[in-house]
Amino acid sequence: MENPWVAWFAGEYLNKTRHLTMGQHGAYSLLLWEYYINGPISARAQQVLNICSAHAQHEKDDVAFVLSEFFILEDGFYHNARADAEISKRDDIRNKRVKAGKARHSTCSAHAEHMQTQSHIHIKAPLTGAAARAREEESPSPENLHPLNYARELLEDLNFPLTGDNMRTVAMSIEAEIKSGKTAVSAYEFILAGTRDAKDEGWEINRFFFADAKYRPENRRNSHGTNKPKGINNSTQVKRAFNNIAAVASVLGGSNRVATATGSAKVEHPRLGNGSGQKARSSPAHPTVLDGKVKKDS
């Protein structure tokens, strides 16, 4: 196998070779590169000269000097102690990396196989009505699943669309609860119970509901400390809004009697009068309307 790299300590090299000429530096460098790639160098004279591209006599003399200065001849090969040590370190590092890579590949393959198996197991048509409630009461909480699988289970229990965005958002909520100290199962059950409570309170359940952790009661409380969603949510506000709309319709449509949330009411019209035949005082074309009554501007 080709060896693509080697550790090169430039400072140490220069400290030990400052006495070399430029030609000797060139010969030593070429011999080291050959050594790091193919190992100990054959003692055949012509082969050594070819490695250094030495043709002139002074070039051959430079090669001979470098061999005598930095290499030891053993069993027909030139050896360099520092190069042998660096090669050993390099091979050890490479072997460790190969081993770690194989371990990661094995783990990823096992996880992918597990995810594929789980996806086949949990894809099913959602239940509705009594069948869905029976399944919720009888089925135990899932155990030892990946957060994405808990998200799938939770969305199925809620009859919620199994889209990629929904699953990822719910999975992130489950991971957040796990980081807060809950087990995976308790996080799943906590979010499921909180979502059901919010649904009963009238909250709209979507992925933003989970992203904002509205399944937590404290996150659903508004400024009045209630668990109701914000907006028009009581009869007084509904009546007031209805009366305002009716009064505006009366002014624009020309009728001096309108239906209100509590019955019909007589409303003075700026052009038609008060219903008794008397003409009202002239007033701006757009009177002010408050709580179902027309207030003429003076």
For 151, counting Cβ atoms within 10 Å of its Cβ (0-12 exposed, 13-18 middle, 19+ buried), the class is buried
Q: Decide the pairing of beta strands 288-290 and 263-266.
A: unpaired
Which SS3 state, helix, strand or coil, does residue 28 take?
Answer: helix
- Decide: helix, strand or coil at residue 276: coil
Query: Do 98 and 125 form a contact (C-beta atoms < 8 A)?
Result: no
Cα distance between residue 55 and residue 241, in whole Å: 104
> Can you give the residue ranges of every domain in the chain?
1-121, 129-220, 235-295
* 3-state secondary structure (DSSP) of residue 264: strand
Q: Which two tokens stand for residue 269?
A: 């019209």
Mark the ranges of the chain whose per-residue pLDDT is less than 70. Answer: 1-4, 107-144, 222-298
For every residue of 179-226, DSSP letters joined together read HTT--HHHHHHHHHHHHHHHHHHT---SHHHHHTTTTSHHHH--TTS-
Task: Say how far apart CA 43 and CA 40 lie, in whole Å.
Answer: 9
Give the Cα separation of 170 and 210 in Å (integer): 6
User: With b meaning 16 or more CB within 10 Å and e meaning fewer, what string describes 32-68?
Assistant: bebbbeeebbeeeeeebbebbebeeeebbebbebbbe
Q: What share of the chain is helix, strand, coil (3-state, %, to 5)?
A: 55, 10, 35
The Cα 298–Cα 282 span in angstroms is 10
Q: What is the pLDDT of residue 48?
A: 95
247 CB-contact burial (10 Å; exposed 0-12 / middle 13-18 / buried 19+): buried
The SS3 of residue 258 is strand
Query: Which pLDDT score is estimated for 114?
Result: 58
Instruction: Yes or no: say if 62 and 22 are a contact pair by the CB < 8 Å rule.
Output: no
Q: Which residue has the tokens 């009505």?
A: 129
Write down the pLDDT at residue 9: 86
pLDDT at residue number 255? 46
Q: At 5, list the tokens.
A: 């790299």
- Give residue 239's pLDDT: 55
Beta-carbon-side half-sphere exposure of residue 83 (alpha carbons within 13 Å): 20
Name residue, tokens 């119970």.
193
* The pLDDT value given to residue 93: 85
Residue 29 CA to residue 19 CA, distance in Å, equals 14
What is the pLDDT at residue 156? 86
Structure tokens at 202: 């009238």
